[in-house]
Each structure stands twice: as C-alpha cells, then as structure tokens.
Structure 1
Amino acid sequence: MSTIGVGIIGSGGIALQNHLPGFALCPDTKVVALCDSNPAVLAEASQKWGIRATHAKWEELIARDDVNAVVIATPNFLHPQIAKAAAAAGKHVLCEKPIALNYPDALDMATVCENAGIRHMTAFTYRFVPAMRYMTHLVKQGDIGQPYHFRAQRFQDWGDRNLGWRQVKKLAGSGELGDMLSHRIDYGHFLVGPISRLVSDQKRMIDTRAGNSVSDLDDWVAILAQYKTGCTGVLESTKLATGRGEGLYGQDVAEVNGPDGTLTFTTQKPLELRIGNRRTTDLQTVPVPKEFLVYPGSKRDPSDGDPVKTFRYDQNYEFIAAIRECRPCTPSLWDGVRAQAVMDAAIQSAEQGKWIDVPQVRS
C-alpha cells in the first residue's frame, strides 16, 4: 500500500500526546479517522488535527475501507474485544498497555492477532527512550557482566486527584500496577529477561478521590522478583509520593548492577546514562551516542522539541515500519502478554501473601 490509513480508537490524552504527532512524522501514513465515546474529547482531537471522519462507535471505524491499522487507546477492559475484531477485519493493531484485564484474555488476544497474520504491537513507549536503548545495548554486549540486580522506581504525586476509569477494577483490572508498573516490568524484560517467580504487595491509601470518585484498586505496588537468569529485581510504583510531581516529571528511574559495572537512567534525562565501574567512586554522566538518539529509520529530528516527550513518536514509526516490512513489531502483543502474566502473579501474591511462579510466555 502506498499510504497506510490509521484509525485511532480512544482520542484522549495519549492519542493527542503520542500517537497523532507520532504518525504525523511517518512517511506515507495518514490518520484518517478518530473514535471516542465522549463527544467533547472527540471534537477536540478532530479540530486540533483537522481529521473530519469521526465515530462514536469503534465498530464503525474498523469497518472503514480506508483504515489499514488501528490504535486502541480505550479503557483496558475493551482492548481484547476491539483487537480481535480488528484482526478479523485484517487491520493491524497497536494497543495501549496493559493489553487486557488478565493473563488468559491477553493470551487469547495475542493468539487471535497472530493467527490472523496482522502486525501487532504493545505500546511500551519507554522502550524507545534513547537512554533505555543505549542501556540495553550495553547490557546485551556484556559491558557490566551478567546482571546481578535490576530495580525500578516510578514515584508520582497525584494526591486525591480523580483518576476516572483507571481506579475502577471492572474497567482497568489493576491500578498503579497496570497503569505505571507495567512499563517497569517491561523494562526488566527488555534488559535482563523474563521473571521466573515473585512476591508482591499492594495498597490502596485513598478510597474516595476528588469529586466523590470511589477507588477499588491499588495506588501503591511493590514487587520482589527473581529473573530466569538469576538476576534479582525490586520494582516499586506509587501515585502518593508527595512532592514528586506527576506525569512526565515524577521520578522514573531504572538501574542494573553487574560484576563489572552499574547502569542507571531516568526518563527525565532521556539523553544520558549514569555509569559506574570498579575504577570509579561515583557514577559518571555519559551522553547517549548519536546512533541511539533516534530509532533506526525514524525521521524524527532529535534536536526538535522536548526530548522528554519526543522519543515517544518513534514507537509509531516502528509500528508503520513493521507493517511495510511484513515483520513482527517490537514490542509485540506477546510482550504485553508477558507483562500481564507478571501482573496476574503479583495480584495473586498480594492476595495470598506468598511467592508465585510466573507463567513463561513465548518470545
């Protein structure tokens, strides 16, 4: 196909911040239709991006002949249903995380999409952070030796702000675990491989949020993990780290320690790593080399815009490139399934107060 037509289902913040500007940088790609159940949200996205074709029902968008690929950016409970319908219609799928409410649904969703022969992708956006890509390169080439430890922290200050559907179990499946820690679970998978077993705890500190919004999900979660390689993992995420800020500016740190060195990065400084080894007494700041500033093939100018935001656009390039090259997307829905297996195990562990083995998912 000369031009790939994209339809976006769920036209709120993620579509406006990530997907619409991302696809705008992809050659011979056009967002041809938008969908949202909220008329005001739909009107805002349509007006801002000049996209006239709008739909209140996702079924109508999928049925369009000019839509070759869809982005699913809806509440989590809708993801499998929409993805499987898109696959049946021969549309390629880019789905926000977590891809389902539970592991069985995620596995079924990925299997259906795989069997349909479409390209499928999980929106683990932070894989495209230049510092994360460089950090992964250094780990894979053995610069720090076989990793001993992986740790990740995502600390934000949301107070009692109304989080909408994200704090409703039947719509989201999990709270902070799926919303924020799912990305950090994927960090670990990307850097050191799959988790074999874990123990977890979760807490809800605020039962009723602003506007009398009732929450029945976690707003703090921690996981102690053992990776298949023998590496240990400590992952923690909260929306109640007072004074840390929210969104792009809340603390987001990942670190790997090995016998020959330490690597750490934060998404707040996506163009540098902190690196230490036996010859240093403190971590040294190292700029990300030029070849890692932009995802291979992406037309994005790394000097244009705020680097805390713009790396996200490379995700859309990878999706389109995989479609054109008839190859698997990285990350695929299988990566979403792998994260969901960990999340289900974490919920089970918190409920039962014990270590849980994590199902191993195909690569």
Structure 2
Amino acid sequence: MSTSPINVALIGCGAIALQNHLPGLALCKDVRLKAICDADPARLEAARQTTGAEIASTRFESIVSRDDIHAVIIATPNDTHAPIALAALAHGKHVLCEKPLALNARQAWEMVRAAEAAGVRHMTAFTYRFVPAMRYLASRIHAGDLGQPYHFRACRLQDWGSRPLGWRQSRARAGTGELGDMLSHRLDFGHWLMGPIHRLCAHWRRWHATRGGQPNELDEWVAVLADFRNGATGVWESSKLATGRGESWQSPDTVELNGSHATFLYDTRQWNRLWLGRPGQTDLEPLDVPREFWTWPGSPRDPARGNPLITFRHDQTWEFIQAIREERPCAVTFRDGARVQEVMDAIAQSAEHHQWIELPPWTETP
C-alpha cells in the first residue's frame, strides 16, 4: 500500500463539495487539498479563504494538468462532468465525480473507457451507499435473507415548492431534473440490491414553467415501473413537489423489498435501523444495525460525533483515497454510474414516447 502524500484538487466549490468532500478529506492521513477551482470567482475566493488551498483557479484545465495534483474531485454542474473528467484522466489523475456521471450514457461510457485505459481509480458519488442502514440492508439481501425476490420500491419526496433551482432547471446544464438529481441514487439502490433491470416504462411531469423568473425546462416528478432480470418488479417515485414534506435528509426517502422469506424497509432518516417483516406477521419490527456497519470499513470517523445523517457522507471520500492508496477499484466505480445513466436514458425515452423500453444485458465492455 502506498503511503506517499496525496495532493487533491476540488473542482467545484459549492455546498456539496464543502459539506461532503472537504470533511472527508480531513479524515485522511497525508492528504492535502492542494488546489480548488470554480467558474464563479466570488465562490472560488470564499472557498479559498475557507479551505486555505494553495492554488485557486477558475479554469479546470490549469488544475488537472499540474504534475503536483494526484486526484481530482468533481462537484460541478452535470454538463461539465465529462469534459473535466476526461481532461483529468488524460493527465493520469484519479477521479471522484458527482452523480449523475454525465448527460447521457454515451458520455458516461466514454468516461469509463478513459478511466480504465488510464489505470487510475475512478468513483461515482452515489453517496447513500455509505449510509450504515443501507450497507447493512445490502449485506442481508446479498446473504439471501430476502428469499425469492418479489418487489423493490423506492420513494423520495421533497418540498421544493416553486423556488429557483439555478442550473438544475436548465436542460443544457442538468440534462434531466428530478430524474438525475434524486432518482439516480435510487436506481443505483436497485442495481446494488436487485441487479440489472430488464425493461421499464416511465412518466414524468413539470408543473412550474418558470422558477425565479427563469425558464424551468425539466421534470419535477418522475415515476418508473420495471422488471428486473432476477424476476422481481420495481417501482420508483421521486418528487420535488410533495408539499409539507421538507427537504434534504429531513424528508421521506424509503426503500422496501418484499421476498418469500422477508420484507426489509430502509429509511434514510433512520441511519442505524431497518424494519423487518416475517411471514405471518401483521406489521414490521425494528432491526438495529450492528455497530460494525456504523462506519465504512477502516474509516477513522467517529460515528458519535456530528449529525449522523450528514457525517456518513464523509466515508465516501475516505474510500476514494483509500482505494488510491491500496491500488484497488473503488467501491462504486464509473461503471456503476454509466449503468445508471443507461437506465436514465431509457426512462427519458419511455417518458417522452409513452412506451416500454428494454435494456440490454450488462456486459464487461461498453
């Protein structure tokens, strides 16, 4: 395992970068935030004062080409993910990129090919895989405790009202709305827990034509009905217009799986608890998450410090750095991001043309 110091560049200095990635880097020994980059000079300067980074630039090209940068974290609008990642990979940098990985599957698979050809570590930021309860749920499902899988359903409800969403309401910048913003995480849940999707049909809606005086071009609600290749059914729903349901980690975010042996229910707001249903029962019972799942394996994070609905996110960045040190694949790779992007493309096609879409089987080569 390499013990050499690692210099990291943070591309994009918004809330996600400062809330998730900066504290994650602080967990890592012999890691330095060497450079930061943001297209907004005011935000860049504020981040420079917050982080104390030695190098600050509004141009990502001048950052990813530096020999003293070893790894890059991309936390920028969706349309810039592929250009920044491809530039960083061309210079041999390890890359952690926010979701959705790209604007479409073609871009996403181009990123996969470039990352694998470069022989570097690559990671898609599907942050909720690091929730202790989700990790424990995955362990129970993969151990066969569900029995024959019957159903998967995920529901994400938030109340964003009619307030402006910035670049997230632009098709050119975001690609999709609620689909890429929130449902992408839950599609990844489906892949992780149930495997590949065989076919799907979808519907999406937009109610507010403008937000903050600017055009709102994207979906505010999306729903999907699917068949998995393992024979289970899948249902997803995600909305920004669930009035009174709140935002972020305070709002409803659930996954339920039903099988011949059990039902498991996961709620993001219950970071250390699942709910279990057994044959013959009339209600679900609490199932505490064992302490061994409270942090990512090897992470030095103290689960008793900070808000546990936030601090689990810091393990994601720690895993990225640890994969670099151990010269092994990251727990969540660009391939995971590209496979979700394929499903997102199919959802968009289905919603626009009102038809079922079949997805190709997973292959080792894109």
TM range (shorter): over 0.9
Distance in 1 between the 2:169 and 2:198 partners?
Answer: 28
Distance in 1 between the 2:232 and 2:25 partners?
Answer: 37
Equivalent position amino acid for 2:210 in 1: T
Residue matched to 2:259: 258
Could you say if the C-alpha distance between residues 195 and 123 of structure 1 is closer, same or farther in structure 2, counting changes exceeding 3 Å? same
1:303-342, aligned counterparts within 5 Å?
Answer: 303-342=304-343
Residue matched to 1:292: 293
Q: Which runs of 4+ in 1 moved over 3 A?
A: 359-363
1:337–1:361 CA contact under 8 A, matched in 2:
no
Distance in 2 between the 1:170 and 1:190 partners?
Answer: 29
Residue matched to 1:206: 208
- Structure 1 residue 204: deviation in Å? 0.7
- Please give the per-residue CA displacement for 1:245-294, whole angstroms capped at 9, x wherever unaligned: 01221211111111111111111111110111115321111211011111
Residue matched to 1:247: 248
- The more displaced of 45-54 and 70-79 is 45-54
- The more displaced of 281-290 and 337-346 is 281-290
- Please give the per-residue CA displacement for 1:83-123, whole angstroms capped at 9, x wherever unaligned: 11111101000000111111111111111111111110000
SS of structure 2 residue aligned to 1:122? strand
Distance in 2 between the 1:358 and 1:156 partners?
Answer: 29
SS of structure 2 residue aligned to 1:93? strand
1:75-154, aligned counterparts within 5 Å?
Answer: 75-154=77-156
Distance in 1 between the 2:311 and 2:360 partners?
Answer: 34
Equivalent position amino acid for 1:122 in 2: T
Equivalent position amino acid for 1:230 in 2: G
1:4-83, aligned counterparts within 5 Å?
Answer: 4-83=6-85
Could you say if the C-alpha distance between residues 359 and 31 of structure 1 is closer, same or farther in structure 2, counting changes exceeding 3 Å? farther
Residue matched to 1:174: 176
Give the number of aligned pairs.
362
TM-score by length of 2: 0.97
TM-score by length of 1: 0.98
Unaligned stretches of 5+ residues in structure 2 = none
SS of structure 2 residue aligned to 1:350? helix
1:198–1:346 CA contact under 8 A, matched in 2:
yes
SS of structure 2 residue aligned to 1:317? helix
SS of structure 2 residue aligned to 1:302? coil
SS of structure 2 residue aligned to 1:198? strand
Residue matched to 2:159: 157
Equivalent position amino acid for 2:241 in 1: L
- Please give the per-residue CA displacement for 1:129-148, whole angstroms capped at 9, x wherever unaligned: 00000000000111121211
Distance in 2 between the 1:239 and 1:71 partners?
Answer: 27
Distance in 1 between the 2:25 and 2:269 partners?
Answer: 23
- Structure 1 residue 52: deviation in Å? 3.4
Distance in 2 between the 1:42 and 1:248 partners?
Answer: 27
Equivalent position amino acid for 2:261 in 1: D
SS of structure 1 residue aligned to 2:149? coil
SS of structure 2 residue aligned to 1:32? strand
Q: Percent identity?
A: 54
1:157–1:244 CA contact under 8 A, matched in 2:
yes
Equivalent position amino acid for 1:17 in 2: Q
Equivalent position amino acid for 2:305 in 1: D
Residue matched to 1:283: 284
Could you say if the C-alpha distance between residues 205 and 120 of structure 1 is closer, same or farther in structure 2, counting changes exceeding 3 Å? same
Distance in 2 between the 1:122 and 1:89 partners?
Answer: 19
Distance in 1 between the 2:328 and 2:214 partners?
Answer: 44
- Structure 1 residue 244: deviation in Å? 0.4
Residue matched to 1:228: 229
Aligned-residue Cα RMSD (Å) equals 1.1
Equivalent position amino acid for 1:121 in 2: M
1:122–1:331 CA contact under 8 A, matched in 2:
yes
Distance in 2 between the 1:69 and 1:289 partners?
Answer: 33
- Structure 1 residue 340: deviation in Å? 0.3
Distance in 2 between the 1:295 and 1:128 partners?
Answer: 7
Unaligned stretches of 5+ residues in structure 1 = none
